[in-house]
Homo-oligomer: A and B are copies of this chain.
Amino acid sequence: MHPAPPLPSNTAYVPFVSVANMMRLVHDIGLDVMLHELAHYIEEDFRRWPEFDKSARVASHSEVGVIELMPTSDGDTYGFKYVNGHPKNTQDGLQTVTAFGLLANVATGYPELLTEMTVLTAIRTAATSALVAKYLAPAGADTMALIGNGAQSEFQAIAMNVLCGITNVRLYDTDPRATTKLARNLEDQGLTINCCHSAHDALEGAQIITTCTADKQFSTILTDNMVGSGVHINAIGGDCPGKTELHRDILLRSDVFVEYPPQTRVEGELQQMPSDFPVTEIWQVMSGTRPGRVSDRQITLFDGVGFAIEDFSALRYIRDRIDGKPYVERLDMLADPDDPRDLYGMLQRAAPIASCGS
């Protein structure tokens, strides 16, 4: 007679944060606090940039979109994110971007956290943008133009409000319904909101210009004559080969700041420039080894494409913040035989118990 199959042991389980639990965690902490705290984690990791194992993300492109894996490691902890980008998904009621991520222990290779990252990516992207703007935006900036009013736009507006003191937002999207949705969602945030009829109109008086449109093609959201001196451009929409938002002449007049140059030169606004076009790595500004903004007249441009270390910071933050909270399920994702060399024995012991007489 067989013994009953043993239950999985503790090491067989991976802590899992579902979408519903991630949303509970956000409300428990509060989005404003979370943006602050997550920006702090990102800043910590950017300041120790050389400790990380870095590579451009591994992208699988198709005609309609891209699926990417974004791994990194600091030597103790390994993290990666799965993320897709499919601009036409919205036509079918699906999202442009969905994501999930994982942390693992480098010493054992065992996963330590699996979590949804669709919501979390929107928050980490906004936290990164606002953190960078803290270093680069002109002093006293209070007005932001927000061009592209899709799924990320609320998070961008709120992060710029709580981290950088932006109080006025000027919204524009080619689809007015997107702008209406954004304005409605921002109602209670204490922001002055202007819905604009053109990108040109949205830029009026803005010291920060955020572009977050989603088309997977070269487009020109901003032309050179639209951008005056002394602004900070937060260009986060262009993030794959063949997708840009700014006219190249703007880059010629700007000081360009990037996350990881080998990735940005392929995916970002930098695609339009020669491969030796000078850039500053933003981690160097945060660690004090390179200057950020040096004059009131300067145009600073953050060519943000999203880098694996930001996801690593977000995963690390969630791991720390779910500790002791009821927002974690346990996922039976790792086989864990009593004798690690006896995987087959574990499988055998899991066989259904034969009925009497058979």
A interface residue numbers (CB < 8 A to B): 5, 8, 11-12, 16, 18-20, 23-24, 26-27, 31, 53, 55, 58, 60, 62, 64-67, 69, 71, 73, 75, 78, 80, 82, 84-86, 89-90, 92-96, 98, 100, 102, 104, 106-111, 116, 118-119, 122, 149-152, 154-155, 178, 181, 185, 331-337, 339-348, 350-352
Contacts and interface: CB of A to CB of B under 8 A. Distances in A.
A116 to B, nearest CB: 5
A18 B95 contact: no
Contacts of A151: 337, 340-344
Contact of A73 (B67, B92, B332, B345): B67
- Kindly report how many copies of this chain are found in the complex they form together: 2
Contact of A62 (B8, B75, B85, B343): B75
21 contacts: A5-B23, A11-B94, A55-B58, A60-B106, A62-B107, A67-B78, A86-B109, A90-B341, A94-B108, A94-B340, A95-B336, A96-B340, A98-B110, A100-B111, A119-B347, A154-B343, A155-B344, A181-B341, A185-B344, A185-B348, A331-B331
A104 B80 contact: no
A344 to B, nearest CB: 4
Contact of A335 (B67, B118, B152): B118
Given A60-B78, A71-B60, A345 B95 contact: no
B110 A84 contact: yes
B64 A82 contact: no
Contact of A27 (B11, B18, B90, B352): B352
A20 B60 contact: no
Looking at A85, A149, A348, the one whose CB has the most chain B CB atoms below 10 A away is A348
